A and B are shown apart, each in its own frame.
Chain A
Amino acid sequence: MGKNNKNTTEKVILKHDHFQTLIDLLKEREYRIVGPTLGEGAIVYDDLNTVDDLPIGWTDDQDGGVYRLKKRNDRAFFGYTVGPHSWKKFLFPSQLRLWKARRDENGFHIENDKNEIRKFAFIGVRSCDLHAISVQDTVFMHGIYSEPNYKARREHTFILAVNCGMAGGTCFCASMSTGPEATSGFDLALTEILQEKGEHYFVVETGTELGAEILLNVPHREAKKEEIHAAETIIKNTSQSMGRTMETKDIKDLLYRNYEHPRWDDVAKRCLTCANCTMVCPTCFCTTVEDVTDLTGEHAERWRKWDSCFTMDFSFIHGGSIRASAKSRYRQWMTHKLATWIDQFGTSGCVGCGRCITWCPVAIDITEETREIRKSEQTHSPNNSIKEGNNNENA
């Protein structure tokens, strides 16, 4: 992404039939263009060649454990919400070889294994995901050490954001103050407008000099007041139609106070410890490292793979797993997302995208689990709720 320059240009109008020009310009600059497209019964993120690869005229219906593609009655380019994939699959690949080595008479040699990383252009990034990218930036780039693979990918990424024209059944960005309007972290941001008379255009906001530079070569005109107003109305409506809500007041202390709570036993009965929630979460960053040798013993490789706090190996130390029970694993995950993350990185680890709710095979809902714990405090005094669950072993 280019340098942020917030006092940028006025909003402009880009006609839908000039969207291809935008893609072509990015291609000319040798970006690998990735964005939403139809695949395996969902809207996934993959390579885009032309505007026709977008899920034009499609939308999704989402609820806990359920996702269904549906036809829209218009030809919207971005008329859906976030799906099973997140942008982390590009910036933070699920499986990555860190190095390979060879052994011969003279010893052990690390082989040169530098893959040329193409720079990405992300098309259609939603506000929740902009926040998620920023969370991962903090984790991978802004600490004492930075992660070179992530950094190499991230630094050259072009981001075309889209303000959401609808909220999904599991979205709750409004509660987390992470959407639905893209406010920073993009090169260009669009609001898609479809009018009954068939007019179809985008209100474009520029976020960086790079964005401005690209836009310069795409036919556009200054936006009229009513067009800007129409875009604002869309975002306002989206913000008022969130499928889920989450009260965040005092959330860190709420969870710290309720480390022992019967609700954790309840969710443990339902939780499959399958790890889907962590895999789909755009902020989850845990990995495991596998060292492999081949049969000859002359080659070795080190691979990094997405891991999850829901596996037994994750907390395995000498003697066994620290979090052997489903209860301790779910509690670890949810408490990390909503509470300890704040101490660790200064922000919430949850951006309210709703993926963990939709893609949990048994519809476990982070907003509901939080609500139930909060509710119990309103009916019992906090002292009571501590008593109810204590003496339980942690694992």
Chain B
Amino acid sequence: MILKIECLTKRFGGIHAVKDCSLEIEREKITAIIGPNGSGKTTLFNLISKLLKSNDGHIHFNGKNITKLKDYEISKSGISRTFQDVRLFRNLTIKDHLEISLSNSDESIFKSLFKDKPNNAERIDRILKLVHLKKPLNTLVTDLSYGQRKLLDLAMAIAKPHSLLLLDEPVAGVNPVLREEIKEIIKNLNKNKGTILLIEHDMNFVMDLADYIFVMDAGKIIAHGEPAEIQSNKKVLEAYLGD
């Protein structure tokens, strides 16, 4: 078990975006969180990566209580994530993005000036191949298409030293070809002992990808189990049809 969430709760004014959520994520598995729009999936990710502060509950990662850590400390401790709406640095190139992601330090000015810079060319090349992003390294991100940005965002999360990868709707808005490609990328990461937690609200996409599925509705986990169990679960069907 790599991640353990206990009784996590988040309220926005009167809305219970996440309500008393508990879940456990196994190592080297692909776990999916599914659920209709507004069910609290992204909020749950934001709580894990501390972009939001929970009202209640605990999060343990690699056996350590990380509930009180700051956002960047959580990231440093080994949780990488992507965003539903891709976040990139608009004036930086592909290379800049990956160089920043690969290093797990704040770059002391002194070291930055006087120590030999690590040669990341090979690692960058490997990661770009892994995500099938074929663009010159000095391309500004503003010159990338939506799909390419999505791939770069994924590449950054992979490049950042991590032991858990959180992907928020990795295929939302991408074309069917790229969708299959991204599916393969995720499978490959997992084959190389990657642990992945991903959000997707399309049930079909995760059925042959995930090892285990949690279903959220209105901030609560209403069901969990292996894909086959979820597919035939009445509560799940209701949540989706009632949407």
Q: Do A and B bind each other?
A: no
Interface residue ranges, B against A (CB under 8 Å): none
Interface residue ranges, A against B (CB under 8 Å): none
